[in-house]
Structure 1
Amino acid sequence: MQDWVDHVIWWQVYPLGFVGAEAEAVDRTEHRLDRIEGWFDYLLELGCNGLALGPVFASETHGYDTVDHLRVDSRLGTDSDMDALIGAARAKGIRVLLDGVFNHVGRSHPQFVRAEQDGPDSDAGRWFRWKDGRPRTFEGHDLLVELNHDEPAVQEHVTEVMTHWLDRGVDGWRLDAAYAVSPAFWAAVLPRVREAHPDAWIVGEMIHGDYASYVQESGLDAITQYELWKATWSALKDANFFEFAHALGRHDELLPTFVPATFVGNHDVTRIASTLDDDDADIAAALLFFVAGTPTVYYGDEQGFRGIKEERVGGDDDIRPEFPATPDDLAPYGWPHYRRHQALIAMRRRFPWLHRAHAEVSGLENTAITLTATDGTTTLVLSANIGDAPVPRPAGDIVAAADGVENDLRPHSWAVTVRP
């Protein structure tokens, strides 16, 4: 396992939205990637040291309909702009993760254009899955055509792409829609990628399924922990910490096999601050940084950004907004959330063993939970109260806490203490 992953905390950015790019591909080049570089100090001051980028490759619209995995989308810039971004990140000690969309491509991908011309049995046609003479599409999205992962040429292509960008300085890959790809595909691809880049971190997007078995069979380092994400916001919304406790038990069972990638927000889901009120959204962040995992903060969540995902064309726009030119342009009411995120990330830096520590549920009610974690020397206690009355705070020095927490936990507040 790569040692650096034990200490990385990602700030995830959806680039096309972040920089205010056009909704569809353009026939000109806009040099916008440097806008992301302008937020590196903000990222570091937050306490993060990793930049997890959404799609940056040439695509038709939203980035997940790729047409060229080896070329930067012209709405973002050029390959040289990407090299400059990676170089600037490396100079500041920031790791870079790319989003690899290898389950499907856009219909304008040159190989699919040839496949439609030459037919399913052609060299190009064998790159794709077909049914009744028609290309199979991903989850009903007609513009996304599925790759044939049994085809050796597809395995060669994905190996080439992953290695190409690792050669250029990125540190790892998020594999989009990994749950739709056979683990045997990754078992064939990843050993060849790791020959040149043994320290690369490869995380797969898994919404459902047997997480541990998929990691073991595929050779991935981690998967995205959607089960814990769902239990976090649902438990807080429904005042049912028993749901979170159950999911946490299943989460801890994964740790002997791998450390999951954890989050409370990303580019595909309604913002946590639109699901919960502000205080409970901060409790979700406290849970994120206390339990084991490799945490990610979705850009804007640390400022309390709101946004609702809708199942329609353009339904992701609200959760993938343009960021302002500088941090000074952010609204003043978001900074208290930022400072609480800073305190939680500082806790994670002070106690890095939390990355893979089992969190024991040492107190549990519908509206209150106490979690305990230890490295054998130091014991930390997280207590959270989503009830309407104060509850006693566990004894010990406060490491991080909601505003106004002293001897009691006020309603909808939290604290992390060091057990005396």
Structure 2
Amino acid sequence: MSSSHSAPTTASPSAPHRPDWVPDAVFYQIFPDRWARAGGPDPDLQPWGAPPDRDRFQGGDLIGITEHLDHLADLGVTALYLTPVFAAGTNHRYDTEDYFRIDPMLGDDANFDKLVGQAHERDIRIVLDAVFHHCGYGHPAFQDVLRRGPESPYANWFFVDSYPVSADPEPTYRTCSGCWYLPKLNVDHPALRAHLFDAVRHWTTRGIDGWRLDVPYMMENPGFWAEFRQVVREINPDAYIVAEVWEPAGEWTTGRTSDAAMNYQLRDALLDFLVDRRTGAGTLAARTAEIDREVGADAAGHMLNLLDSHDTARLRTVCGGEPELTRLSLATLFALRGAPMVYYGDEVGMAGLNDPECRGAMQWDRARWDTTTLDQVTALIRLRRGSVALRRGDQLVTAVTDDVVRIDRHHPDQQVAVLVNRANHPAHVAIDPAGVDLATGAAVPAGSVAVPARGAVFVDTTRR
């Protein structure tokens, strides 16, 4: 048997301030072009629900998001992460052309303010994408450099290797990941830095609740993000700052640059155990312990835990189209420490390979919904929101057998044991003391608990 026990999440007096609302949050990610379109048919757009194309738009907009906020409220979602909404040239909008302007295809400032206001009325917070490592080819500053070369006042906003500036056949300037349309920004330049931080102030002042940092690890000078954090916190001390990190995230959980990180390492560990079966329960326990050590106790409850995103294949597809395995994966995610995030459409059974298929239009035809999964996601969110141990408890992960893992969440006011069985047959797990099934309210006597095949049981084991 292998086990891990991470330290309590109580912050030390010298620990950095992190927003207290995050451990209680349930996040939902939206890719705005593909969530909901309020406007009518448009010949310049793909038909809604057409096979997604990297280069074409389906016309999702901010009004569409606002009109469907009740779907999120009914789910129980409390925080919404939007991929970029600023003016850009692509449907993903990571190629910003104006940091101060909502993309016209999405709407305008009034639409944005209405979205924020109506989300807040439903106790749903809004987190935006901070894309400051690079901008878009169409950004006016870069276009000026293209026209005027070294005489442009913006020449030093970028990393130009030679003039004249050209993208053909190879860029004569540095880019993000070799993409010619994503010129890299020289954030050490004072005027550019001021421009970006003015944009941060502009949107933070409009009432958003946090920022997700896009590829922050590609920035050579982490001092930029430390200053970014200061700018944000001067306006909203409780804004959440979360870094996109695919590797061990300790550098991004110290509180100097960000509060925590997207927990792609946990995603890998869960899928290796539950879906691909490359590892056993003992390895999962060890990997969760290693993540906790890397992240640190103060940040563990603020990690953004996910199983898929706009940058991965969808969970249903990763699970081979198997709804039971999809639901088991989600249940395990909701059992673990950190704020869980649902990628749009996963709750109704949407599938899709990696980009562009994972960015398909949200399915609004209820006749095509996987209502069993929808009901389970709704129940998981309700269960987590109603359990202080699941939201804020310490975490002890142990291997019961190679196929069964036990996740104990300990809080002074509640203790919960979650038993996860990946096997194709039921498992019987010893449990003591007696408890209550959190999902059904049924008594669970001390002794052996039956865990369904590909199932999970949440037991409140608080001594009364």
Per the TM superposition, whether the score is higher than 0.5 is yes
Aligned partner of 1:117 among 139, 144, 147: 147
Kindly indicate whether the alpha-carbon contact (under 8 Å) linking 1:291 and 1:358 is maintained by their aligned counterparts in 2: no
The 8 Å contact of residues 33 and 82 in structure 1, kept in 2 or not, is answered as yes
Residues 397 and 408 of structure 2 are in contact (CA less than 8 Å); yes or no, is this contact kept in structure 1? yes
Query: Residue 35 of structure 1: which of 57, 61, 64 is its match?
Result: 64
Q: Does the CA-based 8 Å contact 1:95-1:170 persist in structure 2? A: yes
2:264 maps to 1:256: no
RMSD of aligned residue pairs (Cα, Å): 2.4
2:221 is the counterpart of 1:176: no
- Which letter does structure 2 place at the counterpart of 1:256? A
Question: How far did 1:172 drift?
Answer: 0.9
1: CA distance, partners of 2:133 / 2:357: 25
Is residue 272–residue 306 contact of structure 1 (8 Å, CA) maintained in 2?
A: yes
Deviations 1:136-166 (A, max 9, x none): 1111212111111221222212211111111
- Structure 2 partner of 1:163: 201
Which of 327, 341, 353 in structure 2 is aligned with 1:308?
353
In structure 2, the residue matched to 1:78 is 108
> Counterpart in 2 of 1:200?
239
Greater RCO structure (CA 8 Å; 6+ sep): 2
Look at both structures and tell me which one has the larger radius of gyration over its CA atoms. Answer: 2
- Shifted more, 362-371 versus 260-269: the winner is 362-371
Change (3 A) 1:346 1:393: farther
Deviation at 1:246, TM superposition (A): 2.5
Q: In the alignment, what sits opposite 1:313?
A: none
1:96 corresponds, among 112, 126, 130, to 126
Q: 1:86-138 CA distances to partner (integer Å, 9 max, x unpaired)?
A: 12112222111111211111101001111223335853011112345521111
Which of 44, 50, 55 aligns to 2:73? It is: 44
Cα distance in structure 2, aligned partners of 1:120 and 1:359: 56
Q: Distance in 1 between matches of 2:429 and 2:371?
A: 26
Q: Distance in 1 between matches of 2:388 and 2:203?
A: 29
Shift of 1:216: 2.6
Other-structure match for 2:5 = none
One-letter amino acid matched to 1:127: W
Secondary structure of the corresponding residue to residue 169 of structure 1: coil
After TM superposition, give the deviation of residue 249 of structure 1 in Å: 0.6
| 3-state SS of paired residue (2:33) | helix
Structure 1: distance between partners of 2:371 and 2:330: 15
From 24, 48, 57, give the equivalent of 2:86: 57
Structure 2 letter corresponding to 1:143:
Y
Q: Which residue of 1 aligns with 2:167?
A: none
Q: Are 1:268 and 2:311 counterparts?
A: yes
Residues 292 and 120 of structure 1, relative CA distance in 2, 3 Å threshold: farther
Distance 2:391 2:332 in 1: 13
Unaligned runs of 5+ in 2: 1-17, 38-44, 47-53, 164-171
Change (3 A) 1:370 1:215: closer
TM-score normalised by the chain length of structure 1: 0.89
Distance in 1 of aligned mates of 2:375 and 2:346 = 12
Deviation at 1:256, TM superposition (A): 2.1
Aligned AA (2:376): R
Kindly indicate whether the alpha-carbon contact (under 8 Å) linking 2:285 and 2:398 is maintained by their aligned counterparts in 1.
Answer: no
Opposite residue 177 of structure 1, the aligned amino acid is V
Q: Distance in 2 between matches of 1:280 and 1:324?
A: 21
Give the aligned partner of residue 156 of structure 2.
126
Question: What is the Cα deviation at residue 15 of structure 1?
Answer: 0.3
For 1:130, the aligned partner's letter is V
Q: Which of 321, 326, 329 in structure 2 is aligned with 1:281?
A: 326
- Report if the CA contact (8 A) 2:252-2:260 is conserved: no
**What's the offset of the Cα at 1:76?**
1.2
Q: Is the 8 A contact 2:211 2:240 kept in 1?
A: yes
**Which sections of structure 1, spanning at least 5 residues, go unmatched?**
310-315
Q: Which amino acid aligns with 1:137?
A: T
Which residue in 2 is equivalent to 1:312? none
Q: 2:425 aligns with which of 389, 394, 405?
A: 389
Asked whether the 8 Å contact 1:6–1:352 carries over to 2, the reply is: no
Q: What is the TM-score normalised by the length of structure 2?
A: 0.81
1:173 Cα shift? 0.8
Aligned partners of 2:267 and 2:251: how far apart in 1? 20
Aligned to 2:339: 294
How many residue pairs align between the two structures?
Answer: 404
Q: 2:267 aligns with which of 229, 243, 246?
A: 229
Q: Shift of the alpha carbon at 1:389?
A: 2.4
**Equivalents in 1 of 2:270, 2:349: separation in Å?**
17
Judged with a 3 Å threshold, the aligned counterparts in structure 2 of structure 1 residues 164 and 352 are, in CA distance, closer, same or farther, namely: farther
The match for 2:385 is 349
Q: Distance in 1 between matches of 2:366 and 2:283?
A: 35
Picking from 360, 372, 376, the partner of 2:396 is 360
Report the counterpart of residue 411 of structure 1 in structure 2. Answer: 453
1:324 Cα offset (Å) = 4.3
The answer to whether the Cα contact below 8 Å between 1:155 and 1:188 also exists between their aligned partners in 2 is no
C-alpha distance in structure 1 between counterparts of 2:254 and 2:179, whole Å: 30
Q: Is 1:369 matched up with 2:405?
A: yes
- 8 Å contact from structure 1 (residues 383, 394) kept in 2: no
Deviations 1:19-77 (A, max 9, x none): 36666699xxx793221112211111111111211111111112111111111111111
Between the aligned partners of 2:175 and 2:350, the Cα distance in structure 1 is 33
Structure 1 residues 209-228: aligned runs within 5 Å: 209=248, 211-216=249-254, 218-228=256-266
Residues 212 and 257 in structure 1, CA contact (< 8 A), matched pair in contact too = no
- Counterpart-to-counterpart distance in 2, 1:76 and 1:394: 54
2:285 corresponds to which letter in structure 1?
Answer: A
Question: Quick one: distance in 2 between partners of 1:324 and 1:272?
Answer: 16
1:382, 1:370 → 2: CA distance?
6
